């Protein structure tokens, strides 16, 4: 095995297998947005602090701007587009809307994926656990007040 500057990768994204030739230097977030055309995942910074790019890789919330696409070869990736099948909103998406947990909507996809990761692992989170779960997701519009409320409501099934 020798190092290569580009390689063919196969990722399962939102249940569909995608195979592409990709440069080793290409970030996963650019692969998702530019190569696969899934523009729901966003970019808000260049130091891995804002979390707008959060997706689930093999079930774990990660920042897709801090992963190379080649590192995700063989992995299962879920983006915000996977949350609503056939136009039915996921309870988290509905809760975000009900509780006005989004204004400009730019942080929302990443926020939803972090929230999904939380609720997948913790069905009854406390407020502090909710805040810890979205600590890696910056929002500049809402002050997080309604986001925390929405996640709590979704957890309660309301």
Partner 1 sequence: MSTTTATTTAPEQVEAPQKGFAGQNVPRKEDKRLVQGQGVFVDDVRRHEVGYVHFVRSPYAHAAITNIDVSAALALEGVYGALIGEEVAALTDPFFQLSVPPGSEIKDYALAVGKVRHLGDPVAAVAARTRELARDAAELVEVEYEPLPVVVDPERALDEDAAVLHEDAGSNLVWSGAFDWGDFGAALEEADHVVRIERLHFDRFSSTPLETSGALVEYDRGTGQWTLHANNQFPGFAIIMMGPALRTGMDKLRFVSQDIGGGFGNKICTHPQLVALCLLARKLDRPVHWTEWRTDQHTGNSHGNERVFLDVEVPVRSDGTMLGFRCKAVDDCGAYSRYEPLGCIIWAQVTPGLYRWRNVHIDFSQVCTNKSPCGPNRGYSRMQHLWFTERVIDIVAHELELDPVEIRKRNYIKAEEMPYETPNGCVYDSGDYARCLDMALDLIGYGSIDEKRRDAESRGKLLGVGIGSTLDSGTNNFGQSQLLNPDLQFSGNNEVASVKLDIFGEIVVTLGTTPQGQGHETVASQLVSDILGVTPDDVHVRAGHDSYWNSHAGFSGTYASQFAVTGLGAVKGATELLADQIRRLAAVILGADGPDGIELAEGFARRRDNPEAALPFMACGAIVNANNAGLPDELDDVTLNCRYVYKPPFQVPDKERKFGNLTLTYAMQIHACVVEVDPETGVYEIVDYAAVDDCGNRIHPQIVEGQVHGATAHGLGAAMFETFAYDEDGTLLTSNFYDYHVPHALDMPPLKTDAIESPSPFTSLGTKGMGEGGGAGIHSVCAAIQDALRTAGNAIVTDSHNPYHRVWELLRDPETSRALVKVEQR
Partner 2 sequence: MLLSEVGYARPAGVAEAVRLLAENDGARPLAGGQTIVNVMKARAAAPDVLVDLADLAELRTIASTGDGGLSLGAMATYTQVITSSEVKAARPVLIDVAAQIADVQVRNRGTVGGNVCSNDPTNHLPPVLVAARATMTIVGPDGERTVPADEFFLGVYMTAVGPGELLTSITVPPLGGAGDGFSAITIGADGTCIVNAAATVEGDGARVALGCVAATPVLLTAAAEEDAVREAVRGAGLEPPSDVHGSADYRRHLAEIVAARAVAAGRGGD
Residues that bind partner 2 (CB under 8 A): 1-5, 7, 23-27, 43, 46-48, 51, 54, 60-63, 65-68, 70-71, 73, 114, 117-118, 132-133, 135-137
Q: Is 141 in the site for partner 1 (CB under 8 A)?
A: yes
Kindly determine how many residues on this chain lie close enough to bind partner 1 according to the rule CB under 8 A.
64
Helix, strand, or coil here: 54?
Answer: strand
CB closer to partner 2, 1 vs 86:
1
Give the CB-side neighbour count of residue 62, counting CA atoms within 13 A.
20
Q: Is 64 in the site for partner 1 (CB under 8 A)?
A: no
d(CA 82, CA 59): 13
CB closer to partner 1, 75 vs 137:
137
- Tokens standing for 122? 């913790």
- Tokens standing for 18? 């995608």
Q: Of partner 1, partner 2, none, which one does residue 89 interact with (CB within 5 to 8 Å by kind)?
A: partner 1
d(CA 47, CA 35): 22
Give the CB-side neighbour count of residue 127, counting CA atoms within 13 A.
5
d(CA 41, CA 23): 20
Task: State the Rg of the chain over Cα.
Answer: 16
CB closer to partner 1, 1 vs 155:
155
Q: Are the CB atoms for 62 and 55 separated by under 8 Å?
A: yes
Q: Of partner 1, partner 2, none, which one does residue 12 interact with (CB within 5 to 8 Å by kind)?
A: none
Q: Are the CB atoms for 31 and 23 separated by under 8 Å?
A: no
CB closer to partner 1, 67 vs 109:
109
Q: Which 72-131 positions form the footprint of partner 1 (CB under 8 A)?
A: 79-81, 83-84, 88-89, 91, 93-98, 100, 102-109, 112, 130-131
The position carrying tokens 């949350």 is: 83
- Site of interaction with partner 1 (CB under 8 A): 23, 25-26, 30, 33-34, 37-47, 49-50, 52, 79-81, 83-84, 88-89, 91, 93-98, 100, 102-109, 112, 130-132, 134-148, 153, 158
């Amino acid at each position: 095995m020798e190092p290569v500057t580009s390689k063919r990768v196969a990722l399962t994204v939102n249940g569909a297998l995608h195979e592409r030739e990709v440069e080793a230097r290409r970030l996963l977030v650019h692969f998702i947005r530019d190569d696969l055309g899934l523009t729901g995942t966003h970019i808000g910074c260049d130091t891995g602090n804002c979390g707008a790019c959060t997706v689930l890789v093999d079930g774990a919330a990660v920042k897709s701007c801090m992963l190379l696409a080649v590192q995700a070869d063989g992995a299962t990736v879920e983006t915000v587009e996977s949350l609503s099948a056939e136009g039915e909103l996921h309870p988290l998406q509905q809760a975000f809307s009900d509780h006005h947990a989004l204004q400009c909507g730019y942080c929302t996809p990443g926020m939803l994926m972090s929230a999904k990761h939380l609720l997948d692992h913790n069905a009854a989170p406390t407020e502090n656990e909710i805040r810890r779960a979205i600590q890696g997701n910056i929002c500049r519009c809402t002050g997080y007040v309604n986001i925390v409320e929405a996640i709590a409501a979704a957890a309660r099934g309301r």
